[in-house]
Amino acid sequence: MTQSIKTPEWVKDAIFYQIFPDRFANSERVTKPSNLEAWDASPTPHGFKGGDLLGVAEHLDYLHDLGISAIYLNPVFQSASNHRYHTHDYYKVDPLLGGNDALRELLDAAHARGIRVVLDGVFNHASRGFFQFNHIIECGKQSPYLDWFTVKSFPLNAYDEKQKPNYGAWVGLHALPEFNTTNPQVREFIFDVAVRWIEFGIDGWRLDVPHEIDDDSFWQEFRRRVKNANPEAYIVGEIWTPAQRWLEGDQFDAVMNYVLTQPLMSFFGARTLAPLWHGGTYPPAKPMNAPEFAQAVESALSLYDWEITSAQMNLLGSHDTPRFVNMVGGDRSALRLAMLCMMTLPGAPTIYYGDEIGLSGGYEPESRGGMPWDRSQWDVELLGYIRGAIQLRNAHAALRRGTYRTLLAEGEQLAYARELDGERLIVAFNAAADPQTLHVPLAGGGSPRVLFGEVQEITRQDAVVSINALSRSGVVIALQN
């Protein structure tokens, strides 16, 4: 550990909502070209649907009512791709999204509601349209920007995909030339971009494939610059595996907690798991029983300092995975239970837009469909359940900041305790397809009272709380003295 670890306080209480800007909502105030895909048509790799940042701003009341306190936006800078990971200009919000003024309005409106906004930072690679790379395409060996990238030969093969790119390109994709971050000018450019938008008012950066910049000193300086601009800015990396190297207090505050994602899928969706690859470095998910899940959770929670663990970005899925409901074979009971579990574990829960209303989608681009705003298309029962789970977390500090302890893990039965400042909560699940009685061992006094969920009966005798649980159900219980 290089220093005392400190992560942003607000993140420990946050509930994130991830938005893919082209697909969430559009505003009539943003002028668009005419060649757009129909909003409700199946998404395509290169098509645009016309979502924008003013559309997000106009639906902030929906997010606020849901209980959301932070937004993670996929890339917003000028780009020739609908996902905008192919950045043309890091200083300009894409005109299709409404430009810089739209981001300004969104930030002001979100902050007025107590909602933070984190942007996606794509700093490992740029695009063929990025000025300095385009300069090399046009000027060849004579370009002054030659050492901004790693060029192996000329002429530059930027478009003929029958041949490999003759320059450093992320995973060999012609469209994604990799920055040469050993170049001091490149480093200063990226640091300036990072600070520029923090000073503009964003609340942090989600870093795309940051492990590809294999240089601790780069990320240490990135952190120093960002934290100097705003000590409470959140820096979270997209790393799918255990990430101790980056989480020692001198680089990132947290990572996207995919290490926890697969156990949530494998336990709650054990009966219906689809034969899909989840993405990243994961093998296909395999069913887990309660003891295996409890061990996986405890392992994930023990990877890092508690300050880091409390700020992890927990998630069930993202733009890089099939939607959770597809991963579990369409079983919405698995989605409900996994959501409740995520809302009651340490770390900041994250909802991928539309999951709360039952939006489905397989491999990308299917998982990036348009958010339906016709409520007749919503699973309102699912929405009510998830809203209730969010409200529960927001109402109880023990669920956000309390200690964690496994109480029961047998077969398809699971229970754990969250405790803080005298508040003691039990979270219990019956993942079985039939009603079961959970016998939860518990030291200390207190009468059980249901805070969330439905049960047939709860009784306590000495050091055991017995829960007659419904099939495929979860319950949160307070112990009152």
| Residues labelled catalytic | 208, 238
Residues 6+ apart with CB under 8 A from 328: 265, 268, 269, 272, 273, 274, 334, 335, 338
Distance, CA of 309 to CA of 301 (rounded, Å): 6
CB 37 within 8 Å of CB 48: yes
CB atoms under 10 Å from CB of 272, counted, come to 14
Terminal C-alpha separation, the chain? 41
CB atoms under 10 Å from CB of 136, counted, come to 25
Distance, CA of 410 to CA of 12 (rounded, Å): 30
Question: Which letter does DSSP use for residue 78 in this model?
Answer: E
Query: What residues pair up with 348 in beta bridges, in sequence order?
Result: 313
Distance, CA of 391 to CA of 15 (rounded, Å): 10
Distance, CA of 67 to CA of 407 (rounded, Å): 29
> How far, CA to CA in Å, does 414 sit from each of 238, 261, 288?
29, 17, 12
Residue 199: is it exposed, middle or buried by C-beta count within 10 angstroms (0-12/13-18/19+)?
exposed
Query: What residues pair up with 427 in beta bridges, in sequence order?
Result: 416, 476
Helix (H) or strand (E) run with residue 412 in it: none
Distance, CA of 393 to CA of 377 (rounded, Å): 27
SS3 at position 380: helix
What are 458's two structure tokens? Answer: 């709860």
Q: Which of 235, 184, 179, 242 is nearest to 212 (CA)?
A: 179
Helix (H) or strand (E) run with residue 424 in it: strand 423-430
CB 399 within 8 Å of CB 344: yes
SS3 at position 60: helix
Residues 6+ apart with CB under 8 A from 68: 15, 16, 17, 115, 351, 390
